[in-house]
A and B are shown apart, each in its own frame.
Chain A
């Protein structure tokens, strides 16, 4: 079986994986990171979205072996110093979820969207999250949450405050100690 070296949520792992295993299976079953759900399994719904080297990726359609040498951030790696990421807070405060199944993917896709466009219009948010399906909310509160988080992130970036968790880039990889793990 191929060997892979990956960094997931700031922790380095050396693992053997079966070539046919998908990244999402590796995350859930070998690392126990069940915060990343599997939805459609066909790269349509976006529930399994993670960040691969900072870019949103549907982890049901990436082989685990393809992640070798790369940096992955899941929903479990977003909170830092005991504080949620601004998008996590905004989803909570704006009631941007009901069942919550799409939420991890929605938030990670939104992080990628705000990286490219820190001040998106409602239309740009809807287009940016086109690859992430929600069957509960009707999207209105998701759009409101992303808009609110974007404003908070911009404000934090503009303020000369000490390093806050309101970081537009997933801060887990940078903030968490790089621990060698051999699960």
Chain B
């Protein structure tokens, strides 16, 4: 039987209440949402917060809505809710692709979107998917709200732009016409973290050329989960297979995978390229109506 070390427990009843609790405890507190990464880490003493601030009761942090040309996802939205949302599937199939391979259905019942992003595991899938989509995080602090592009959110393993006295409250995804998206992942077994994974979003002009592209890479040491060189290569090009293969090669060249128990670096680099190309193919096929 494993139990975490002793900690204080506070249940926040509103965002402002959570912020007051965070201010009181400083960097010795951790916010707990689904807890399915944090609690196992606490059992292993990889995390030993003095206080847990439970935000599960804050209803204003939950929900998926469309507002103008943005999709707003509350930070406390469960993975299962993102996966079952029709509006998410309609606009951003990359998010449904990713959710199907995040952990397992039982974990997805409680794990949250914001928790996954803030846990900031270098192999985390939604980070790569949101990066491909050009999403923005809304962070609240005592002084008010600020927004941070998810391309600048992840500062390193388990480290984000959210300060100890701040809370990620929402993710905003721009809804842009003429595009689609996809996610591909290789994992050792069902529900595992990725050996490597790639998300892609493309927007096509009337002539079928790629007007814009977004690529997110997980688990391969890509800075901020991004692949800007491959994105830049694709802009303005015809979305033919040679271009998508070349974009994969460029993404593979610029990432920095590390060997670990999930595989050697060269294998992961190979996967980064191949998965980028496959995600791009699927995104292009979807954007041009050839695939659901």
Q: Is chain B found bound to chain A in the same assembly?
A: yes
Question: 1/0 per position for B5-44, CB-CB distance to A under 8 A?
Answer: 1111100000000000000000000001001100110010
Question: 1/0 per position for A1-13, CB-CB distance to B under 8 A?
Answer: 0100000000000
* A131-150 contacts to B (CB < 8 Å): 131-132
Q: Which residue of B lies closest to A46 (CB)?
A: B106
Query: What's the dominant secondary structure at chain B's contact region?
Result: loop
B178 at interface, CB cutoff 8 A: no
Chain A residues whose CB sits within 8 angstroms of the CB of B5 once the complex forms: 20
**How far, in whole Å, are A155 and B103 apart by their CA atoms in the complex?**
32
User: Which of A41, A63, A66, A130 interacts with B104 by CB under 8 Å?
Assistant: A130
A57 at interface, CB cutoff 8 A: yes
Q: Which residue of A lies closest to B54 (CB)?
A: A66
Looking at A22, A49, A52, the one whose CB has the most chain B CB atoms below 10 A away is A22
Q: Does A65 contact B9, Cβ atoms closer than 8 Å?
A: yes
B190 at interface, CB cutoff 8 A: yes
Q: Does A61 contact B109, Cβ atoms closer than 8 Å?
A: no
Chain A residues whose CB sits within 8 angstroms of the CB of B105 once the complex forms: 56, 109, 112-113, 127-131
Chain B residues whose CB sits within 8 angstroms of the CB of A30 once the complex forms: none
B2 at interface, CB cutoff 8 A: yes
**How far, in whole Å, are A136 and B19 apart by their CA atoms in the complex?**
48
B191 at interface, CB cutoff 8 A: yes
Chain A residues whose CB sits within 8 angstroms of the CB of B43 once the complex forms: 41-42
Chain B residues whose CB sits within 8 angstroms of the CB of A52 once the complex forms: 110
B56 at interface, CB cutoff 8 A: yes
**How far, in whole Å, are A49 and B106 apart by their CA atoms in the complex?**
8
Chain A residues whose CB sits within 8 angstroms of the CB of B54 once the complex forms: 65-66
**How far, in whole Å, are A38 and B3 apart by their CA atoms in the complex?**
12
**How far, in whole Å, are A109 and B191 apart by their CA atoms in the complex?**
15
Q: Does B109 contact A56, Cβ atoms closer than 8 Å?
A: yes
**How far, in whole Å, are A131 and B189 apart by their CA atoms in the complex?**
11
Q: Does A109 contact B106, Cβ atoms closer than 8 Å?
A: yes
Q: Which residue of A lies closest to B192 (CB)?
A: A44
Q: Which residue of B lies closest to A41 (CB)?
A: B2
| Number of A residues with CB within 8 Å of any CB on chain B | 32
User: Given the interface contacts A109-B106, A112-B105, A130-B104, does A22 sit within 8 Å of B191 by beta carbon?
Assistant: no
Q: Does B3 contact A44, Cβ atoms closer than 8 Å?
A: no
User: Which of A20, A56, A113 interacts with B3 by CB under 8 Å?
Assistant: A20
Q: Does A20 contact B7, Cβ atoms closer than 8 Å?
A: yes
Q: Does A62 contact B110, Cβ atoms closer than 8 Å?
A: yes
User: Which of A20, A112, A131 interacts with B191 by CB under 8 Å?
Assistant: A131
For residue A48, give the distance in angstroms from its CB to the closest CB of chain B. 10
User: Given the interface contacts A42-B40, A66-B56, A130-B104, does A57 sit within 8 Å of B109 by beta carbon?
Assistant: yes
Q: Which residue of B lies closest to A28 (CB)?
A: B1
A25 at interface, CB cutoff 8 A: yes
Q: Does A130 contact B4, Cβ atoms closer than 8 Å?
A: no
User: Given the interface contacts A19-B8, A131-B191, does A57 sit within 8 Å of B3 by beta carbon?
Assistant: no
Q: Does A61 contact B36, Cβ atoms closer than 8 Å?
A: yes
User: Given the interface contacts A19-B8, A62-B110, does A131 sit within 8 Å of B104 by beta carbon?
Assistant: yes
User: Which of B1, B7, B106 interacts with A19 by CB under 8 Å?
Assistant: B7
| Chain B residues near A (Cβ < 8 Å) | 1-9, 32, 35-36, 39-40, 43, 52, 54, 56, 80, 100, 103-107, 109-110, 190-191
Closest 8 CB pairs of A and B: A131-B104, A19-B9, A131-B106, A130-B104, A42-B40, A55-B109, A56-B106, A130-B190
12 further A-B contacts with Cβ under 8 Å, apart from A46-B104, A127-B105, are A20-B5, A41-B2, A42-B40, A43-B36, A43-B107, A46-B106, A58-B110, A61-B35, A61-B36, A62-B110, A130-B190, A130-B191
| Chain A residues near B (Cβ < 8 Å) | 2, 19-22, 25, 38, 41-44, 46, 49, 52, 55-58, 61-63, 65-66, 109, 112-113, 127-132
